[in-house]
Amino acid sequence: MSQQWDQYALVESWFKSRNFAQMNINSYNQFVDDKLNEIIHENKTITPKIEEVRIELEDIEVLKPRIVEADGSPRNDFYPMEARMRNRTYSAPLFLTMRLLRRDVEQDVKKTYIGELPVMLKSKLCHLQGKTAEELISMGEDPMDFGGYFVINGSEKALTAQEVLSSDRILITESADDKTSAEVISTKGAFKGRVRVTRAKDGLLSVSFPASPRKLRLFVLLKALGLKSEKEINDAFPALNEVMNDVMINMEAMDVKDEEEALDRIGKYVAPGQVIDYRLRRAQEVIDAFLLPHIGDKKEDRRAKAYFLATMATRAIERANGLRGQDDKDNYANKRLELSGKLMEHLFRHSFKYFIKDLTFQIDRTVTRRRKLNISTVVRPGAVTERILFGMSTGNWIGRSTGVSRFMDRVNYLGPLTEFRKVKSPLNKNRELYEARDVHGTHWGRLCCIETPDGPQCGLVKNLGLFSEVTQDVKPEPVEKLLKGMDVYLK
């Protein structure tokens, strides 16, 4: 009996020390700390159509939530309860340091207000963080409330975790016509492209990626990526008989002699009818930008891309010869959950792209009308705010996802707790998809095998287990540095 009570004490201490919404709060904090600056860095130089004018972006700063009254006076003691009562959005102002240059001469530098960012309750930006129960009561808040949601136009909105296939991970699949494919979803910033290496029944290997020629031979692409000799191509593959057999078949079928001819083969598709110099340059741009961007987008990254493609081809050959199994897309090792911070990152990146587009339009219009050009006249803060608030109000997200943002269920205390554990799959609810809806062995300890709605959403909307936690993104650079220090070859 004492052992049973000890178990209850352990469970009770777990729930006392853990917040149900903590993983969403941590995800949002990571978005504010790291991802905002990453998005700014991706777009650090803005070049309008007007020549000799450019804007350089530097640090972005997010303040604590505040409200600007009708008379224009700002007030910093703006708490979530006031936002609920007055049908306002609990948001924080964003300030971006912008530098305007004309003919490489600095014209204007200013820390500019660019819009509002909705603030998650109990996050590091929120006034409620770290407050005692008495202080929370004085602010009109329930001390038992767990946070992890937003107040948008007076309504409490929470973001549903989205279940997606893992990026940058090689998955082996087979098609009905006996073709074996190795595919990877390569992701960098806002760009997400599917790269597929396919082995036909006769052993020939082809590759497809965004903007690539149809039925592009893999070995032609390897030549274009800088593997010049037959020995270099052979060394990229393991010395297995089955693999080397397919390598020899593809080597004999390769009809290009050198790197330039291989690049020209790609250039004739991406820039048809152009002169050879332009074709070669355009082919190199396509390879750098659209082929495996997670490895890099510079010339020195091409050899690493070639070795990665050789690895993909090796796995497809091994699967075709029965040396390895087919990958299961329903296995949770091949899935990732996008929490509030990742979803806000997608939304802010989309909104910021629109802000840049609007900024370049305002600069072009100002110069065309011969007006004085300065930062204050070309920045329109509503461009960011409108896009973010539209997504959070309607639930329509980037990538045609719907129902991402939803009203908080406040029927009882347990209602929001279960809502916060929901996980939604992006698959079409009107299709059968028996395997995707079924309970998988890897759900054990992670997802509840019972809690799922009836009807079309059955098996597509799931619930995290009470004890399951979702870890955050980590940067690969420290791991790469450690491996290099141990003399493990990278790139």
Same-domain check for residues 17 and 148: yes
Same-domain check for residues 86 and 27: yes
Distances (CA, A) of 428 to 91, 160, 308, 463: 33, 16, 32, 18
The count of domains in the chain is: 2
Same-domain check for residues 267 and 367: no
Same-domain check for residues 28 and 149: yes
Query: Are 416 and 143 contacting, i.e. CB atoms less than 8 angstroms apart?
Result: no
Q: How far apart are CA 134 and CA 82, in angstroms?
A: 18
* Residues of the chain above pLDDT 70, percent: 98
Task: Kindly state whether residue 473 falls inside one of the protein's structural domains.
Answer: no
Domain endpoint, select from 256, 285, 320: 320
| Pairing label, strands 161-165, 422-424 | parallel
Mean pLDDT of the chain: 89
- Please measure the distance between the N-terminal and C-terminal CA atoms of the chain and give it in whole angstroms: 58
Same-domain check for residues 18 and 157: yes
* pLDDT tens-digit series, residues 362-405: 888 888 888 888 888 888 888 899 999 999 999 899 877 888 99
- CATH number (domain holding residue 275): 3.90.1110.10
379's tokens? 């920045």
Same-domain check for residues 254 and 375: no
Q: How far apart are CA 460 and CA 437, in angstroms?
A: 6
HSE, CB side, 13 Å, CA atoms: give it for residue 146: 25
pLDDT band at residue 82 using 50, 70 and 90 as cut-offs: very high
Arithmetic mean of pLDDT, 145-173 = 92
Q: Name the least confident of 4-8, 51-55, 380-384, 418-422.
A: 4-8
Arithmetic mean of pLDDT, 332-341 = 93
Domain endpoint, select from 275, 293, 320: 320
Lookup result for tokens 């020629």:
213
pLDDT of residue 417: 85
pLDDT band at residue 5 using 50, 70 and 90 as cut-offs: low
Q: How far apart are CA 361 and CA 370, in angstroms?
A: 14
Same-domain check for residues 192 and 114: no
Same-domain check for residues 234 and 258: yes
Same-domain check for residues 365 and 444: yes
pLDDT of residue 1: 47
Task: Kindly state whether residue 39 falls inside one of the protein's structural domains.
Answer: yes
Arithmetic mean of pLDDT, 298-319 = 92
Q: How far apart are CA 194 and CA 172, in angstroms?
A: 13
Task: Kindly state whether residue 470 falls inside one of the protein's structural domains.
Answer: no
pLDDT at 245 > cutoff 80: yes
pLDDT at 305 > cutoff 50: yes
Amino acid, res. 191: F
Query: Are 461 and 453 contacting, i.e. CB atoms less than 8 angstroms apart?
Result: yes
* pLDDT tens-digit series, residues 281-301: 999 999 999 999 999 888 888
Same-domain check for residues 84 and 220: no
Same-domain check for residues 370 and 433: yes
Contacts (Cβ under 8 Å, ≥6 apart) of 239: none
pLDDT of residue 46: 85
pLDDT band at residue 254 using 50, 70 and 90 as cut-offs: confident
Q: How far apart are CA 222 and CA 310, in angstroms?
A: 8
* pLDDT tens-digit series, residues 436-449: 899 999 999 899 98
pLDDT at 6 > cutoff 80: no
pTM of the model: 0.90
pLDDT of residue 17: 82
Same-domain check for residues 374 and 397: yes
Which ranges in 321-405 belong to alpha helices (H)? Answer: 340-368, 375-378, 382-394
pLDDT of residue 401: 83
Task: Kindly state whether residue 482 falls inside one of the protein's structural domains.
Answer: no
pLDDT at 121 > cutoff 90: yes
Q: How far apart are CA 17 and CA 14, in angstroms?
A: 5
* pLDDT tens-digit series, residues 451-463: 899 999 999 999 9
pLDDT of residue 157: 93
pLDDT of residue 311: 94
220's tokens? 């032609």
- CATH number (domain holding residue 433): 3.90.1100.10
Task: Kindly state whether residue 158 falls inside one of the protein's structural domains.
Answer: yes
CA nearest to 148, candidates 23, 321, 9, 326:
23
Sheet containing strand 205-208, edge to edge, reads 171-174, 180-188, 191-199, 205-208, 216-217
Our CA angle for 402, 156, 26, nearest 5°, is 80
pLDDT at 428 > cutoff 80: yes
Task: Kindly state whether residue 481 falls inside one of the protein's structural domains.
Answer: no
Q: How far apart are CA 269 and CA 212, in angstroms?
A: 8
Task: Kindly state whether residue 230 falls inside one of the protein's structural domains.
Answer: yes
pLDDT of residue 3: 57
Contacts (Cβ under 8 Å, ≥6 apart) of 190: 42, 349, 350, 353
β strands within 160-255, DSSP E: 161-165, 171-174, 180-188, 191-199, 205-208, 216-217
Q: Name the least confident of 128-132, 262-266, 358-362, 414-418.
A: 414-418
Distances (CA, A) of 343 to 67, 350, 352, 460: 25, 11, 14, 18
pLDDT of residue 27: 94
β strands within 63-134, DSSP E: 67-68, 74-75, 91-102, 105-118
Query: Are 419 and 408 contacting, i.e. CB atoms less than 8 angstroms apart?
Result: yes
150's tokens? 């937003």
Cα dihedral: 369, 370, 376, 377 (round 10): -20
Domain containing residue 264? 171-320
129's tokens? 């963080």
Task: Kindly state whether residue 148 falls inside one of the protein's structural domains.
Answer: yes
* pLDDT tens-digit series, residues 13-54: 888 888 888 999 999 999 999 999 999 998 888 888 776 888
